[in-house]
Amino acid sequence: MNNLRHMMNPLDFSVEELETLFDLAGEIERDMPGYAHKCDGKILATCFYEPSTRTRLSFETAMLRLGGKCMGFADASNSSAAKGESVADTIRVISCFADICAMRHPKEGAPMVAASRSSIPVINAGDGGHQHPTQTLTDLLTIRSLYGKLSDFTIGLCGDLKFGRTVHSLINALSRYEGIRFIFISPKELKVPDYITEMLRQKNIPYEEVIKLEEVMPQLDFLYMTRVQKERFFNEEDYIRLRNFYILDKEKMAFAKEKMYILHPLPRVNEISVEIDDDPRAAYFKQVQYGLYVRMALILTLLGIE
C-alpha cells in the first residue's frame, strides 16, 4: 500500500498537518451526526498489552461514533503474546482482519516494530515510558481550544517527568511552536530525562527545573499534572517515598493566575485533590472529550477518508 501512514510520535505529522487534523476535530465537535457513517464497514483493532481505560475506550468510542466496528484485546494474557508470539507476527495477523490498529505496549518501540511489519495504519497508544502521541494530540487540541493558539505561553509540567510518557510526547510536540516556556516541577529523582533537556538547549527553548510548585505557580498559563508512574519504578520503597510529593489543592491554587488551566492525562491518583474539580480552571475532564474528537479525526485521516 503506497499511502500507508502510521502515528508513532506527534512529530510524524508536520505542524500544518496537525492544524488540519485539529480543524477536522473541531468540525466533528460541531457536527458529530455528520460523521456517524464515515467509517461504515471499517474495523479498528485495539491491541493493548498494558492496562488502560481512557485511551482504549476513547479509540473504540471514536470508531463506533464513526460507524465502524472494533475488536481486539485489553489484556495480553488473553492473546497469543502469552504463548510467545512477537508483535511483528501479531500485527501481520491483525492486518488480515482489521483496517487500522491502535497498540499499547510496555516496551518502548514495540508499536514501531509492529508498524514496520504492518499493511494497515498502526497508532502508538503508548509505549513504555517513551511516547503517547494521541494523548499529546488531545493535549494540543485542548490547549488550542481553551487558549485560542498553540504559542506564547508558559507551561508547568509537574510530577513524574522521568517515566511519564505523556510528558515526553508533549514537550516534543510543543518544541515546534513559538514562544513556549517550560517549567519542570519534580523531585530530583523524577526529573525530565537528559535527552529532552538537551533537545531544548539545542533549539534554544527556555526551560527551568524546580522542586517547589508554589514558587512558580504565579507564572503559569497551564499546569500539566501527572501521576507518579508506580508500574515503572524498580522498587516499592522509592515509589512510596515519592507518591505524595505533589498534591494540588485549594491552598496551592491560590497562587495561580485567574486563567491558569489545569491539565492531566488521567488517571489521577491523589495528585489533584477532588476539591479542585469544580474550579473553572480544572480542564482535565474536558480534555477527555477533546481526546475523542481528535482520535476520530486521526482515524479518518490515517484511513484517507474525506
Q: What are the residues binding ligand NCD (CB under 6 A)?
A: 54-55, 126, 132, 135, 165-166, 227, 229, 265-267
Q: How far is the CB of 215 from ligand NCD (least distance, A)?
A: 24
Q: How far is the CB of 120 from ligand NCD (least distance, A)?
A: 22
**H/E element, 21:** helix 15-30
Residue 122 Rama label (left phi>0; alpha psi -120 to 50; beta): beta
Name residues whose C-beta falls within 8 Å of residue 253's C-beta, 6 or more positions apart in sequence. 276, 279, 281
Q: Of 38 and 184, which has the nearer Cβ to ligand NCD?
A: 184
Q: How far is the CB of 144 from ligand NCD (least distance, A)?
A: 18
Q: How far apart are CA 228 and CA 276, in angstroms?
A: 19
Q: Of 95 and 135, which has the nearer Cβ to ligand NCD?
A: 135
Q: Of 54 and 92, which has the nearer Cβ to ligand NCD?
A: 54
The DSSP symbol for 282 reads B
CB 100 within 8 A of CB 120: yes
Instruction: Using alpha carbons, list the distances in angstroms from residue 38 to 2, 228, 245, 300, 306.
Output: 22, 39, 46, 8, 8
Q: Of 119 and 270, which has the nearer Cβ to ligand NCD?
A: 270
Q: Of 105 and 132, which has the nearer Cβ to ligand NCD?
A: 132
Q: How far is the CB of 159 from ligand NCD (least distance, A)?
A: 9
Q: Of 205 and 246, which has the nearer Cβ to ligand NCD?
A: 246
Q: How far is the CB of 135 from ligand NCD (least distance, A)?
A: 5
Residues facing 222 on adjacent strands: 155, 261
Q: Rounded to a whole number, what is the largest CA-CA distance in the chain?
A: 56
Q: Of 117 and 268, which has the nearer Cβ to ligand NCD?
A: 268
Return the residue matching grid coordinates 529532552. 196
Q: How far apart are CA 288 and CA 125, in angstroms?
A: 15
CB 86 within 8 A of CB 110: no
Q: How far apart are CA 198 and CA 195, in angstroms?
A: 5
CB 68 within 8 A of CB 36: no
Q: How far is the CB of 104 from ligand NCD (least distance, A)?
A: 7
Q: Of 95 and 186, which has the nearer Cβ to ligand NCD?
A: 186
3-state secondary structure of 205: coil
Q: How far is the CB of 290 from ligand NCD (least distance, A)?
A: 12
Alpha-carbon dihedral 127, 128, 134, 135, rounded to 10 degrees: 180
CB 179 within 8 A of CB 233: no
Q: How far is the CB of 1 from ligand NCD (least distance, A)?
A: 28
